[in-house]
Structure 1
Amino acid sequence: MELANSMRGTVDGIVASYNSRVKALGQRTADTHKTLERFTSERRKMAREQRGDLADFTKGLSKTVEEMLQGFKESHEEMGDEQTKSLADFVKNLTGDVGSMLNDFQKGRGRMSKELKNRLAKEVKEIETYIENKLKEFREDHAGMTEQQKKDLSKFVGGITNEVKRFLTACRKEMDRCRNDVHRASGSWKGMTVTLAKARRNGGRISVGQEAVEKIGGSKGKRKKKQN
């Protein structure tokens, strides 16, 4: 009788310990989900802000250069040789300044994207390592479980693993989308730099001013069509 009571007490203790650990692991899972959701929200917010800043910068720069070139075109016919040379020098300096500014901005964007990617990868790796360690510890502590309990635990672990895999897939897609945004913006900047470089090489003549205005206007029109 005492042996039966002792065995019953041992079994009850094992069951209680199992339930306690399952509950603790469930709480860990809930906390992990909350952390993953917070990471996703912060990443999306940062991506939106970066795209907005880039769009505003490109739009403002295009408008400013377009207005300058339009003014050059209207007043160029009345200029003398000295004024023409001054205009050519100004266009040359403007091209250099804008090119330098765009390069600095692009480098800053590249560093920001790289830092965001590294930070996200590090945090995801830490989460994966934490979960793997906890699951390993849980398996070792419950080596003596029944077959049904092992099946239940395996199913529970599989669910957690699938959730983490889905989150990692979403993270990779979001990072790919950010890289594509940066690539498209870089193409727009390079096109504008080429236009200004042509104006510099031609000494700021009217034909160059017209070509630059038309190209900038055409680029803006294409972007609007894509957005629609």
Structure 2
Amino acid sequence: MNGIDAMQALCEDILKSYDARVTSVAELVSGTAKTLSNFAAERQEMSKTMKADLTKDKADRFAAVNQSLENMKAAHKGMSEALRSSLTRDKSDRFAAVNQSLVDMDAAHKAMTEALKANLAKDKSERTTAVKQLVADMKAAHKAMTEAMKANLAEDKSERIVAVKQLITDMDAAHKAMTEA
């Protein structure tokens, strides 16, 4: 019986081993099925969580972009108003500066006109005085020259009369000598 018992023991061991393997494989299949089921459930839960997170992130990004656009619009509006105010202020400053320049130039022009009028009046007075003095000097010189010429002519007159009388006498004598000869 040794061989039969050994064979029987071997067969029983094989059966036990087979049953253990089948049980082990069944446990593996059951564990794998459970793991796959848990994996699917976890994957679905993770998918839901990720979808919710992505949806929230998308909404947050849209909100951030919209907020950024609103901030840019507000900043642009502020810059626009500041620029408009600055341009208006600069325009009024330039206008005031130009008006002040015109007033200053007008005042300077009036002062220059008054100075020129005063100089012209002074020059006219000086020229009038100079012309009157020149005319008086010319009259005095003419009078002196006339008197000198009259004096020269008066002196020369007696000499001329004597010379003319001598010439007539000489001519008469020459004429007489011609007629007698």
| TM-score grouping bracket, smaller chain normalisation | 0.3 to 0.5
TM-score (norm 2): 0.37
TM-score (norm 1): 0.30
Larger fraction in helix = 2
Rg larger in structure: 2
Q: Which has the higher contact order (CA 8 A, sep 6+)?
A: 1
